[in-house]
Structure 1
């Protein structure tokens, strides 16, 4: 059976090729620790599942669609400001907003495409 071709590193501007299934080359792996940890270890465990479902019951409509005058059911709880591992920001309900999956994916793509690094 043929092997899958290598893919480009996902770090912006990097042209290194990595084996299929990996996201970053050895040079950039340390800059993206969130890609190496499981969802549970990043805080999205059973407590998050309970809290986010309760939040969606209380806020059933997508906030972004509502700004555009559309009424769409929210399916994802989004962190308005990315928490980047900060537990206080992660659990701050003032930093949460209900979004539908397409709006969440678009917002997350824009944030991940243009990441802000702090040194």
Structure 2
């Protein structure tokens, strides 16, 4: 098992807590659209709640409502995770041109 997967398993149970479920629903009600798509002028429903600052098991960051952001599955699985790994993310606007 890699170090990354061992760390992920350590705090994976936080996603099953009643407090997380409540925070997730509140975040999606407050911000129902993907913020990354919205910046590009694209309207996309969000169904994933992401941590703006990766929590890495830190309970204070994990349960901080100000650290949450709504994303669509595509942005969460591609763009956000690439950013967290230190890669460059090139996003395209509704017109098809790259957006800085």
TM-score (norm 2): 0.72
Confirm or deny that 1:97 pairs with 2:69: yes
SS of equivalent residue, structure 2 residue 15: coil
Sort the Cα spacing of 1:38 and 1:79 in 2 relative to 1 into closer, same or farther, 3 A: closer
Greater helix share, structure number: 2
Report the count of equivalent residues: 84
Out of 81, 93, 98, the residue aligned to residue 53 of structure 2 is 81
- List aligned pairs for 1:32-71, cutoff 5 A: 32=4, 33-37=6-10, 39-40=12-13, 43-45=14-16, 46-71=18-43
Match of 1:108 in 2: 81
CA distance in structure 2 between the aligned counterparts of 1:75 and 1:69, rounded to whole angstroms: 18
- For structure 1, list consecutive stretches of 5 or more residues without a partner in the other structure: 1-23, 115-119
SS of equivalent residue, structure 2 residue 25: helix
TM-score (norm 1): 0.62
Q: Displacement of 1:99 after TM fit? A: 0.5
Runs of 4+ in 1 over 3 A off after TM superposition: 35-38
Relative contact order, higher structure (CA 8 A, sep 6+): 2
- For structure 2, list consecutive stretches of 5 or more residues without a partner in the other structure: 87-100
CA distance in structure 2 between the aligned counterparts of 1:88 and 1:35, rounded to whole angstroms: 16
